[in-house]
Amino acid sequence: MADYKYTPADFKSDQEVRWCPGCGDHAILNAVQRALPEVADRTDTPHNLFTFVSGIGCSSRFIYYMKTFGFHSVHGRANAVATGVKVANPRLNVWVTTGDGDSLAIGGNHFIHAIRRNVDLNVILFNNEIYGLTKGQYSPTSKLGKITKTSPYGTVEKPFNPGELVIGAKGTFFARSIDMEVNLSKECMVAAALHRGMSVVEVLQNCVIFNDKTHAAFAADKATRAERTITLRHGEKMLFGANNEKGLVFENMKLKVVTVGQDGYTLDDVLTHDAHERDTTLHSMLAAMKYPDYPVAVGVIRAVEDDAVYDLAVERQVEEVRATSKIRCVDDLLRSGATWEV
Amino acid sequence: MEQNSVHELQDVVIRFSGDSGDGMQLTGTLFSDTSALMGNGISTFPDYPAEIRAPQGTVAGVSGFQVHFGNRRQLNPGDYCDVLVAMNPAALKANRKWLKPGATVILDGDSLTEEHIRKAGFATLDPLAELRLDEYNVVVPDITSMTREALKETGLDNKTVVKCKNMFALGICFWLFDRPEEHALRYLDGKFAKKNPAVAEANKLAIKAGYNYAANTHQFANNYRVAPARLEKGTYRSINGNVATAWGLCAAAEKAGLPLFCGSYPITPATVILEELAKRKDLGVKTVQAEDEIAGICTAIGAAFAGNFAVTTTSGPGLSLKSEALGLAVMTELPLVVVDVQRGGPSTGLPTKTEQSDLQQALYGRNGECPVAVVAASSPSDCFHYAFEAGRIAMEHMTPVVLLTDGFIANGSEPWRIPQMKEYPAICPPIVDQAPEGGFMPYVRNEKLARGWAFPGKTGLEHRVGGLEKDCVKGCISHDPANHQTMVSTRAAKVAKIADYIPEQTVYGDAEGDLLVVGWGGTRGHLQNAVDRMRDEGKRVSLCHFNYINPLPRGVKEIFARFRRIVVCELNEGQFAAYLRQHLQEFRYEQFNKCEGQPFTIVELKQKFESLLQ
């Protein structure tokens, strides 16, 4: 492990942070700036290799506040631009900051294909279930029936669950956090950075102006979160509740919430989280859990190592061809194949 | 029996034509490669339907490949053909109008069945009479049955055997024009010998059978000899425009000392560039076949930010999709080459046919004041040079460049004297390696008005750029009114300044005269040929052909001023003419335009020029 001795201040740019007071984005910025010194050491990444790419939306202003290389692209295209950055130079540590509109609506295609290719990007998906920068229209994660400026009578379309989308696209890493849980967010960011391949960290984020308290039913305060969310950690029992008295069991092909010691359920019956399982079924079910039927899963839900990492595979193929090819330069190329003298 | 006589010819146009599954493209390519190896000047043009297998036997499904070869450099594939090889009545019908007076027609007699004749839409069962071909030298050998006979001992099934009939036709043409078979035989060995040696043998047998048939039967009155062209000394190869474009991009990357990155999405007729670059891993090229056109350009922009020479390749509809991201590249002032292989539009239009109608899209098709450099190639082989130039301009001037080619030069091929890379200049982008005192300011400019290029990974150069308007020095977001004006003006001035770094405009022919023909891009061969013919007749006509469109080169005004009339010829409704009217308002421009999905013909150009000289 390297020892760069970076502090969060080394990742703060001189730009004034201009999100609304009380916006969840402040906490995400805080978590990332706290995560990077640890990421630098644990992945042996010097400061000059960190690169942040974003699309459009409140989340995408993020890059201006980071004292790293940064590229603020156009709406929806962050994952495509970041793919180019990473393929061009796989040694860079590339992060994408994006939102539910940016990556799940206008940029949905790039998002799923970056996942499919397993490009080694660390994507932070700020999910506030609303379009904030355009002042309050419903997004692809807004709850069915949500009243917004563009749905004055409520939406009539079902939302995406980002976790199901990522895992459905055979994503190799998916974690979820809540903006207020800075330590958990930081833990997820570090895990995402350590993961080889595409990592998506969904942060359930509050938009204090246009969608206040959208996650409050399960995320309002510490006590609520203890009862209504479950923090998953690889190798640990799936327990939650103020005293860890509740657990998840698998019964009749479904997840079920039980209380340990009641109805004949013991600790042995409670599932142990295996984030490394390649099969997507259980991870998808965990990501899909919705309050009030279930606790909302947070933490690293899926982290599967896969050798097929796109940017590295592209580079490897180039090296393999170069090792044996007779064409070493453009002069060779121009004279390859059928030629004749005049 | 009358002896065959050998006639010397200056140049010949052969059109191979059949169903789109008949292998006419391969037949034509083998004939043209053989002729190139014999030292002839060559120009070729494939003309095929958009469908991979259009309805069999119909006129819509006819696929053609035209070869123009001669004892001089051939500037275009020729308008009208001396020999038409037609594998069925539909091919005959589709190409009837392209026959030169007295041309030879070789038609597969076995295809003259009622079914084929009806499918081709003839009113009677006598297509030859219906098309009034009595003034022509029509030969109707039973190609299919003779191929079957020649291959009966191969043991191959009937379908495979019949597929070899195109090689029988090729054999006839080899005899007719005194070409050796060796190149084609070698090619077939290479193509099939490993996977299917029996098929390779069958094809080779068919060529020989066709050749022997033509030599023995005296069906053809003569055979012909076309002397080699007197070409500049050197090593030559045959190349098509798309491959030349790909290689020119490789050359620019090599001369800049940067890796080449291509983010692209398949689209006719540009796909071959991506295919060729995907092969060029031997030169370190990285290709991403993106999920869509937008991701194609966006991955390229990301790669440019990260310090690669980045390109994206497309055709008109794809350029439409890339518009927003192209604006991002203008705003972030990153080097990027966008290749647009133009085809007939609008919308899906005519995917396999040529047109020059994306010029204004390339110049203006974006939101905001959004200037990009625009360069156009004018022949299959000079795609190499102009792809190199597009790369040089992009990297040295830190700007996106649109390189316009078109379906005609992209698919057409010609012999090319292979250059040596030492003849090409080094490309020197303004790469920043160390932060100057006071820190790196991304929008500080050099004498070309190009900003510094500092890629991620370079210590102490961390900075942020993006699509929001930038402070003219620091590069941070700025909504200041005066700053925006400064940046709009500076981006325009930067592109205008490229004029100081490109060659002055030249004129072909005399520097003054009665008529100046003005063209741009892929029409050069036809325009020059037509101008040559006019000059041979003593007419005072010259050609001013443009490869650099934005900015226009220096010296244009001086050229234009010395001609009595100016006619702008283009395969669109007058886009370059409108551009010239905007930039050089003091001249009057006549126009000659065509949107048929086909190149100009020399005949129609000459007619137009003659009418303007009256």
Question: For B199-241, how does the pLDDT look when each residue is reduced to its tens digit (9 = 90+)?
Answer: 999 999 999 999 999 998 877 777 788 888 888 899 999 899 9
- Triad B314, B505, B525: Cα angle to 5°: 55
Cα(B418)–Cα(B235) distance, integer angstroms? 6
Q: Is A20 exposed, middle or buried (0-12, 13-18, 19+ CB in 10 A)?
A: middle
Cα(A54)–Cα(A74) distance, integer angstroms? 8
Amino acid at B137: N
pLDDT level of residue B46 (50, 70, 90 thresholds): confident
DSSP A258-311: EETTSTT--GGGSPBP-TT-S--HHHHHHHH--TTTSPEEEEEEEE---S--HH
Q: List helix spans (H) across B451-591.
A: 481-496, 524-536, 556-560, 575-583
- Per-residue pLDDT tens, chain A, 342 aa: give them: 899 999 999 999 999 999 999 999 999 999 999 999 999 999 999 999 999 999 999 999 999 999 999 999 999 999 999 999 999 999 999 999 999 999 999 999 999 999 999 999 999 999 999 999 999 999 999 999 999 999 999 999 999 999 999 999 999 999 999 999 999 999 999 999 999 999 999 999 999 999 999 999 999 999 999 999 999 999 999 999 999 999 999 999 999 999 999 999 999 999 999 999 999 999 999 999 999 999 999 999 999 999 899 999 999 999 999 999 999 999 999 999 888 888
DSSP B146: H
Higher confidence at residue B383 or residue B48?
B383
Express the helix, strand and coil content of chain A in percent, nearest 5 each. 35, 20, 45
Using CB atoms, pick whichever of A13, A50, A338 lies closest to residue B33. A338
Say what the pLDDT of residue B223 is: 79
Which residue does chain A place closest to B298, by CA atoms? A81
Distance (Å) from the alpha carbon of B214 to chain A's nearest alpha carbon: 28
Contact predicate B340/B268, CB 8 Å: no
Please indicate whether, in this complex, the C-beta atoms of B466 and A70 are within 8 angstroms of each other: yes
Say what the pLDDT of residue B1 is: 35
Residue B45, helix vs strand vs coil = strand
pLDDT tens digit sequence for B145-159: 999 999 999 989 999
Say what the pLDDT of residue B37 is: 86
Say what the pLDDT of residue B434 is: 94
Sheet strands side by side (includes A239-240)? A239-240, A246-251, A254-259
Cα(A234)–Cα(B234) distance, integer angstroms? 68
pLDDT tens digit sequence for B379-389: 999 999 999 99
Q: Does any CB of chain A come closer than 8 Å to the CB of residue B421?
A: yes
Return the C-alpha torsion angle B557, B558, B564, B566, nearest 10. -40
Q: At what angle do helices A78-88 and A310-324 cross, to 10 degrees?
A: 30
pLDDT(B5) > 80: no
Return the C-alpha torsion angle B605, B608, B609, B610, nearest 10. 120
Say what the pLDDT of residue B47 is: 81
Segment B540-547 mean pLDDT:
98
Write the secondary structure of B319-387 as one string of H (helix), E (strand) and C (coil).
Answer: HHHHHHHHHHHHHHCCCEEEEEEECECCCCCECCCCCCCCHHHHHHCCCCCCCCEEEECCCCCHHHHHH
Distance (Å) from the alpha carbon of A133 to chain B's nearest alpha carbon: 14
pLDDT(B396) > 70: yes
pLDDT(B77) > 60: yes
**Residue B105, C-beta contacts closer than 8 angstroms, at least 6 positions apart:** B83, B84, B86, B92, B99, B133, B136, B137, B138, B139
Residues of B in contact with A55 (CB under 8 A): none
Residues of A in contact with B36 (CB under 8 A): 340
**Residue A99, C-beta contacts closer than 8 angstroms, at least 6 positions apart:** A55, A57, A58, A59, A60, A125, A126, A127, A128, A132, A139
CB atoms within 10 A of CB A317: 12
Contact predicate B417/B234, CB 8 Å: yes
Cα(B487)–Cα(B496) distance, integer angstroms? 14
Q: For A240-248, which contacts have Cβ atoms below 8 Å and span 24 or more sequence positions?
A: A240/A295, A246/A295, A247/A271, A248/A294
Cα(B167)–Cα(B172) distance, integer angstroms? 9
Chosen from A85, A112, A113 to mutate, greatest number of chain B CBs within 10 A = A85
pLDDT(B21) > 90: no
Residues of A in contact with B456 (CB under 8 A): 48-51, 69, 85, 89, 92
Q: Does any CB of chain A come closer than 8 Å to the CB of residue B435?
A: no
Residues of A in contact with B263 (CB under 8 A): 84
Say what the pLDDT of residue B343 is: 97
Residue A5, helix vs strand vs coil = coil
pLDDT(B2) > 90: no
Say what the pLDDT of residue B9 is: 85
Query: Which two structure tokens, joined as six digits, stand for B50?
Result: 């958009």
Say what the pLDDT of residue A45 is: 97
pLDDT tens digit sequence for A185-231: 999 999 999 999 999 999 999 999 999 999 999 999 999 999 999 99
**Residue B83, C-beta contacts closer than 8 angstroms, at least 6 positions apart:** B12, B13, B14, B15, B103, B104, B105, B106, B173, B176
Query: Which two structure tokens, joined as six digits, stand for A197?
Result: 């391949």
pLDDT level of residue B457 (50, 70, 90 thresholds): very high
Chain B residues 274-293 with CB within 8 Å of chain A? 280-286, 288, 290-292
- The reply to whether ipTM tops 0.95 is yes
Segment B415-434 mean pLDDT:
96
Comparing A146-160, B36-50, B269-283, which segment has the lowest mean pLDDT?
B36-50
Best CA proximity match to B100, nearest among B122, B76, B83, B120: B83
Say what the pLDDT of residue B4 is: 55
Cα(A39)–Cα(B7) distance, integer angstroms? 79
- Triad B199, B201, B204: Cα angle to 5°: 110
- Triad A337, A342, B6: Cα angle to 5°: 105
- Find the helix or strand (DSSP H, E) in which B174 lies: helix B165-176
CB atoms within 10 A of CB A22: 11
Cα(B65)–Cα(B63) distance, integer angstroms? 7
Residues of A in contact with B236 (CB under 8 A): 339-342
